Amino acid sequence: MSTQTDLAELYTTFFNRAPDAGGLTYWTNAITTGQLTLAQIAENWTTQQPEGQAAFPATLTDAQFVEKVYGNILGRTSDADGAQYWLDQLGNGTLSRDSFALTLINGAKANTSAQGVLDNTLITNKATVGVAYADKGLNDTTLGAKVLSSVSTDAASVSGTLAIISLIPSATAGQTAAVLASANQLLTNLATLITTAPGEVADASTYLQTLASGATSSTNIVTLLDNASTLLTSAATNPAALDNPAVQGSAAVVVATPGTGGGGTPTPTFTVTEDLNGALTFGGTATGDITFTVTNGEATFLRGGVAATPAIDVSTITDTGGVAVKLAANVTGLSFADATKLTSLTNVDLNNKTLSLTGVQASDVAGALALTGVIAVAAASGDAATALTLNAESLSKVSGFTNITLADTSATINTNLAALLSNANVLAIDSTENTTAINLTAAQGALTANTDKLAAGDQITVVDTSANINSNLTALLADAKIDSIDSSQNTTALNLTAAQGALTANTAKLAAGDQITIVDTSANINGNLTVLLADAKIDSIDSSENTTALNLTAAQGALTANTAKLAAGDQITVVDTSANINSNLTALLADAKIDSIDSSENTTAINLTAAQGALTANTAKLAAGDQITVVDTSANINSNLTALLADAKIDSINSSENTVAIDLTKAQATTANLLKLSADDLVTLNAAGGDSFSFLTNVDKVNTGASNVTGAASTSAATVDGTAGNQWFFAANVGGVSTADELTFYNTATSSAEKIVLSGVTSVSLDTAGVFNLTLEVV
């Protein structure tokens, strides 16, 4: 299809007129020089050209816009299903208004239904007339609109309109107001005849073509056009008015041409005969090029405005007698055999005219499409269901076949995909490039009727916004034909359920650069968590129940790559054996995403260092029912002892150095605190003068310390309740105390006392239990 034809179709769509000569030249040059594409011109006409803006103002609703375009290009109102399809495409932004026009044209051409064939024919006929109008050098836009009104799906309406255009002088000087007015009226009368007496259109076409071929530079064109208008008006109500149209046409030319009537030059004649072998012989006095038209398989030859009779059956012609003949008009309704004959004859010039074939067998389609000038091939009756494999270009020319496989490059398929998917006659679509993707929208991919058409071996990709993919995700993941899903918005998440994300067959479809989020209940996520954490395609996991925990193993929780996937607002719990928790405890405590840590073995300890146990942020994560033990050096324990004893979550404290003391103050020596301390550890209570307390389980020593020795006689150091084997430690030679001084152990229960000279003594062990007063005496 030529650039001029494409543009003529756009003129019909947007302006409902034939292209003016100047405009067609300008826009054709813009395309051929690469300045603009057809799509860019459509956008320009919609948004920037005053004529386009006036025809399609922004105030039009989508429904009004669709109806107006249907009326312009297809000459009818839309069908309900078709209109809704296009309204959906416009409404969801898949199509803009300017691209809709091109898509509708291409869709109509690809539609091989009965209505589709009619639509395609009308589009082609209007474009043919439009190009001829511009080629004539005409720029009158009013006449340009009128010239399309006299065109229908009937080929005779096209040839008749073309004849009227050819009667208008090519020179601007000859395109007078009178000539244009007369042409306008004749086109109006032809349009009326098409509506009121369609059976007379073929005769009208023959008559008008005879005028066009017979008129000379001496012919009064206004008279010729006006007389033709009168005849067509009569034919609308009188079926006999156009009888013998060629003869009447020749006579009308004589009447309108000075010096050709009366006793002047005899009326020219033109004859054609065919011998038994199908060879033609032309005769008569007419001069000029020999042209011909074909109607119902018969060729009518014309010369100098004179039509030869009778018409000759194309199928019988074998030779034109060495005489060059030119086809004068596009041919419709031609058989494959006649088209083959016509295109094979020597000295026959198709003259850039087109051939539309009918009644073609499926086995002949390829041959028919290969013939010069063939633009349409219609199926033979009874052969419609025979399987055909066509490329996109061939498909646009074929109608009536209902079992078509479209085989073409992925790029061509993508360009025409919407029309191909909606074409009921295309049962299969197969790319010739299996590794180059066919790209569907999410809505297209979600319809099994669409993906059923696609070949299993082809690469099928859904490319759309994340919102559109999410709306159709279940269907897209379930369809084995779809190989990949790629969001056009990499930062807007595709949301999968946990079950969807757990299937590698699903995530394998998703593009690595897209944002993939699992959104589901905590229960569903927990059921699939191992797989979800392991899949590198999944970027984030978000529970729809923020207060119901996601449960990780200790090993899972210790990997920042895992917890980085988890939503900050979700409740994250590590549930595992104490051994596994202990192996990963440092990482688990450090990760702010982890809210709680719960051992599945409540009686097996989770072991913290003293520094870990001293942080309430750490112990707040630990389950209250678990056994929590602080295991560290005595020095580290002593540095954090106040916090460790105060935290109710900590059940026990165990020094890794049994011979290095854990030092408690009098205030810390409570039953609850002392029970936390390991029996194996060395535990010392630091006593002050006047302190009184009882020895309890796990206490090994009381250290009176240097501060308790004042050097005064009978100074009371402490009162303690001792058990056998307990030790008191004290400092000698401090505060004026010499090694000759004595420390008295006075058992208040037995009222007995024992004095120990401090010379060389640093500790005393009790042999028996009792309550003792410790008194220092200076001697």
pLDDT, residue 516, reads: 95
Task: Give residue limits of the domains in the chain.
Answer: 1-139, 150-263, 268-402, 404-492, 663-777
Q: Residue 288, by phi and psi: left (phi above 0), alpha (psi -120 to 50) or beta?
A: left
pLDDT band at 2 (very low <50, low <70, confident <90, very high): confident
CA distance 441 to 451: 11
Under DSSP, is residue 77 helix (H, G, I), strand (E, B) or coil? coil
CA distance 510 to 411: 22
Please choose, from the candidates 76, 124, 75, the residue with its C-alpha nearest in 3D space to the C-alpha of residue 399: 124
Q: What is the pLDDT of residues 196-230, one digit of tens each?
A: 999 999 999 999 999 999 999 889 999 999 999 99
Buried b (16+ CB within 10 A) or exposed e, 575-605: bbebebbbebbebbbebebbebbbbeeeebb
Q: How far is CA 593 from CA 103, 266, 541, in A?
A: 52, 108, 12
The whole-number average pLDDT for the span 413-423 is 93
Supply 38's token pair: 């057809």
pLDDT band at 349 (very low <50, low <70, confident <90, very high): very high
* pLDDT cut 90: percent of the chain above it: 60
pLDDT, residue 276, reads: 87
pLDDT band at 259 (very low <50, low <70, confident <90, very high): low
What are 312's strand-pairing partners?
299
Determine how many CB atoms are found less than 10 A away from the CB of residue 455: 16
The alpha helices in 215-353, defined as continuous H runs, are 221-235, 245-256, 336-344
Check pLDDT > 80 for residue 583: yes
Check pLDDT > 60 for residue 262: no
Q: How far is CA 363 from CA 273, 384, 401, in A?
A: 35, 11, 12
The whole-number average pLDDT for the span 167-189 is 92
Check pLDDT > 50 for residue 709: no
Q: How far is CA 234 from CA 179, 200, 228, 237, 287, in A?
A: 21, 11, 10, 6, 31
For the domain made up of 1-139, the CATH class stated in words is mainly alpha
pLDDT band at 710 (very low <50, low <70, confident <90, very high): very low
pLDDT, residue 702, reads: 52
pLDDT band at 767 (very low <50, low <70, confident <90, very high): low
Instruction: Please give the full DSSP string across 571-621, using - where no structure is assigned.
Output: -EEEEE-HHHHHHTHHHHHH-TT--EEEES-TTSPEEE-HHHHT-HHHHTT
The alpha helices in 713-766, defined as continuous H runs, are none
pTM of the shown model: 0.55
Q: What is the pLDDT of residues 714-755, one digit of tens each?
A: 344 445 555 555 555 544 333 444 555 555 655 656 666 666
Q: Which element (helix H / strand E) includes 106?
A: helix 97-110
